[in-house]
Amino acid sequence: MATTVDANAHDVEQAVLSAHKAFVSGVWSRRLPAERERILLRYADLLEQHAEELAQLETLEQGKSIMVARAFEVGVFGRPLLARRGLLRLPLQVL
């Protein structure tokens, strides 16, 4: 599929600094809740649209069965967002 290099301590430090900078900037936290919801629901739409492709990639990368990838690796990412839409009911223990 692809070749990547392992992260070293400097790479991790840069990632943490970048995440902190994004958090402090308010790019996300200062958005109105309705705007954040719109963005997250769009993300859920994209996950749903590309679910099969993502499951196949997960199968190739991890060697898991396609059924496991569909149900657990890809399917769980969008569940809370779909539940928020009322399109999916989560078991009480998840809430």
According to the model, what pLDDT value does residue 25 have? 93
- Burial of 12 from C-beta contacts in 10 A (0-12 / 13-18 / 19+): exposed
Max mean pLDDT among 38-42, 69-73, 91-95 falls in 38-42
Question: Distance between CA 68 and CA 66 in Å, rounded?
Answer: 6
**Taking Cα atoms as reference points, which of 79, 71, 33, 38 lies closest to residue 52?**
71
Q: How confident is the model at residue 92 (pLDDT cuts 50, 70, 90)?
A: very low
Mean pLDDT of 74-89: 60
Q: How confident is the model at residue 13 (pLDDT cuts 50, 70, 90)?
A: very high
Contacts of 62 (CB under 8 A, 6+ apart): 69, 73
